[in-house]
Amino acid sequence: MYEQLKLENQLCFRFYTVSRLITQAYRPLLGRLGVTYPQYLVLLVLWEQDGQPVNDIAKRLYLETNTMTPLLKRMEQEGIVTRHAGEQDSRKVIVSLTEKGRSLERLACEIPLEMSASYTCRDISPDKLGELYRQLDSLTETFKTSASKQ
């Protein structure tokens, strides 16, 4: 077997595993809000700035708009967001929080602290975490740049 084809030598597998485990760790916390992890990400974007076009939310989350549509449709059915045509451009769909969506923000305030407590007690200091964020941001930019050239 080729050394480069061993699972343990795959950077992508490490990211896949960490991503899956982080999402799993969020599940009980988000269960209190009644939302999934992808819905939580949409909420984070809308809590920063409500009333955004679907395309802007998708871009911020590095998702395709066709991935966003069923996600937003379900959130709308659950009464968390509304979707409506834009005032200046009726082809743009604007997503806004409902009262229920806004009230979830207060309930979600403790989630980042609880998640942080779960990994900082395992030898990841705030300094190490800050460095990890910078490295991951750099890697994200690298892949964004190479993807846009394809």
Tokens for 105, please give them: 């923000």
Q: Judge if 133 and 92 occupy the same domain.
A: no
134-140 — which CB contacts under 8 Å span 24+ positions?
Answer: 140/62
- For the stretch 38-77, pLDDT in tens is 999 999 999 999 999 999 999 999 999 899 999 999 999 9
Q: Judge if 103 and 125 occupy the same domain.
A: no
pLDDT (mean) for 115-127 = 74
Q: Judge if 103 and 114 occupy the same domain.
A: no
Q: Average model confidence (pLDDT) for the chain?
A: 91
Q: Judge if 114 and 102 occupy the same domain.
A: no
CA 119 – CA 113 distance, rounded (Å): 10
pLDDT (mean) for 31-41 = 97
Q: Judge if 101 and 147 occupy the same domain.
A: no
Q: Which of 36-40, 52-56, 89-93, 141-145 has the lowest mean pLDDT?
A: 89-93
Q: Judge if 81 and 118 occupy the same domain.
A: no
Q: Judge if 61 and 74 occupy the same domain.
A: yes
Q: Judge if 131 and 87 occupy the same domain.
A: no
pLDDT range class, residue 145, cuts 50, 70, 90: confident
Q: Judge if 89 and 123 occupy the same domain.
A: no
Q: Which of 9-18, 45-54, 60-69, 124-133 has the lowest mean pLDDT?
A: 124-133
pLDDT (mean) for 71-96 = 91
Domain that residue 77 falls in: 34-107
CA 41 – CA 90 distance, rounded (Å): 25
Phi-psi region of 62 (alpha: psi -120 to 50; beta: other; left: phi over 0): left
Burial (CB < 10 A; 0-12, 13-18, 19+), residue 104, is buried
Q: Which of 22-31, 66-75, 109-118 has the lowest mean pLDDT?
A: 109-118
pTM of the model: 0.89
Q: Judge if 47 and 101 occupy the same domain.
A: yes
Indicate whether 5 belongs to any domain: no
**pLDDT in the model for residue 120:** 61
Asked if the model's pLDDT at residue 121 lies above 90, the reply is: no
**pLDDT in the model for residue 130:** 87
CA 69 – CA 38 distance, rounded (Å): 12
Q: Judge if 60 and 99 occupy the same domain.
A: yes
